[in-house]
């Protein structure tokens, strides 16, 4: 059967289109369900178009002298387990590390290792033979705990809890902007229920926050042209409450009031 020039051209263009779609960074909608993401967001961290040869070999070596601590009650779609560590190698002997163990070496694992390296939290990645030769990343342990698990939040009246949530969100947004404009990674998976934002308390005030879990979805690599104004506009405004803040507080995990607490 002979194909006309038109048919050949159509098939060629269709093939090029499919290939281009496969190679282009895949993007997810953010919390407020934007139809498009701004130009300075290049794509999610698990897109293989971002991976170098070094990234592809992130789990090619064995992690020796890993001394496991407590297995933490943290879940995750791609996770096998998460452990605190009593030590790793010669340099790290304290409990200043966390190890996330994956089910398999896939784009999500490679992308998270790359993102952690970009923000400066990655210590090592490789295979842990004592856990059935599972791939794992060792990262710096961040201070704090999820707000809704703190004793201060549990014991507070609802009006005080609302203040704590507002403080947490504002500090979280500030840290998101800081990481985005200095490390070129956008941490946009800041859902309270997922415990991806840790707080350090000072009385009934949130003193500081730390962002954890740089895996997909909703973690993005950014163009180096990104500015504070770009990220602030993405969130609506860096100085005022936004739709994202209202949605964030609406989905905040419910904590029953402590006995004797007036709400």
pLDDT for residue 93:
66
Each residue's pLDDT tens digit, 98-113: 999 999 999 999 999 9
Q: Say which residue the tokens 């007036």 belong to.
A: 262
Global pTM? 0.82
State residue 11's pLDDT score.
33
First-last CA distance in the chain: 79
State the average pLDDT over residues 211-225. Answer: 94
Percent share of the chain, pLDDT over 90: 63
Q: Which has the higher per-residue pLDDT, 202 or 33?
A: 202
pLDDT in tens, 132-155: 999 999 999 999 999 999 999 999
- For residue 78, the model assigns a pLDDT of 72
Distance of alpha carbon 149 from alpha carbon 258, whole angstroms = 12
211 vs 32 pLDDT, higher one: 211
Q: What distance in Å separates the CA atoms of residue 213 and residue 178, rounded to the nearest whole number? A: 16
Torsion of CA 84, 113, 91, 209, to 10 degrees: -60
Confidence at residue 235, expressed as pLDDT on a 0 to 100 scale? 84
Asked whether residue 4 carries a pLDDT value surpassing 90, the answer given is no
Residues 6+ apart with CB under 8 A from 181: 226, 227, 228, 231
Residue 26 or residue 73, greater confidence: 73
- HSE, side-chain direction, 13 A CA sphere, residue 226: 27
Side by side, the strands of the sheet bearing 79-88 are: 66-71, 79-88, 97-102, 134-140, 122-128
Per-residue pLDDT, averaged over 106-128, amounts to 97
Instruction: Provide the pLDDT confidence category of residue 262 given band limits of 50, 70 and 90.
Output: low
């Amino acid at each position: 059967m002979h194909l006309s020039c038109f048919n050949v051209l159509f098939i060629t263009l269709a093939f090029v289109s499919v290939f281009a779609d496969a190679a282009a960074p895949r993007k997810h909608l953010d919390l407020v369900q934007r139809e498009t993401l701004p130009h300075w967001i290049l794509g999610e961290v698990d897109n293989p178009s971002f991976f170098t040869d070094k990234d592809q070999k992130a789990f090619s070596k064995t992690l020796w002298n890993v001394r496991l601590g407590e297995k933490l009650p943290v879940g995750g779609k791609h996770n096998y387990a998460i452990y605190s560590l009593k030590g790793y190698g010669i340099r790290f002997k304290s409990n200043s590390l966390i190890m996330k163990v994956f089910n398999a070496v896939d784009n999500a694992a490679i992308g998270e290792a790359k993102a952690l390296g970009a923000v400066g939290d990655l210590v090592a990645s490789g295979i842990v033979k004592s856990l059935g030769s599972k791939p794992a990343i060792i990262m710096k342990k961040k201070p704090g705990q999820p707000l809704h698990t703190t004793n201060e939040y549990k014991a507070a009246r609802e009006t005080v809890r609302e203040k704590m949530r507002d403080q947490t969100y504002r500090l979280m947004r500030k840290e998101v902007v800081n990481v985005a404009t200095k490390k070129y990674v956008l941490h946009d998976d800041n859902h309270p229920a997922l415990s991806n934002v840790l707080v350090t308390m000072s009385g009934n005030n949130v003193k500081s926050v730390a962002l954890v879990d740089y895996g997909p979805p909703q973690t993005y690599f950014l163009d180096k042209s990104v500015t504070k104004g770009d990220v602030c506009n993405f969130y609506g405004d860096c100085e005022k409450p936004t739709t994202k803040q209202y949605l964030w507080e609406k989905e905040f995990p419910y904590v029953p009031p402590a006995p004797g607490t007036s709400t």
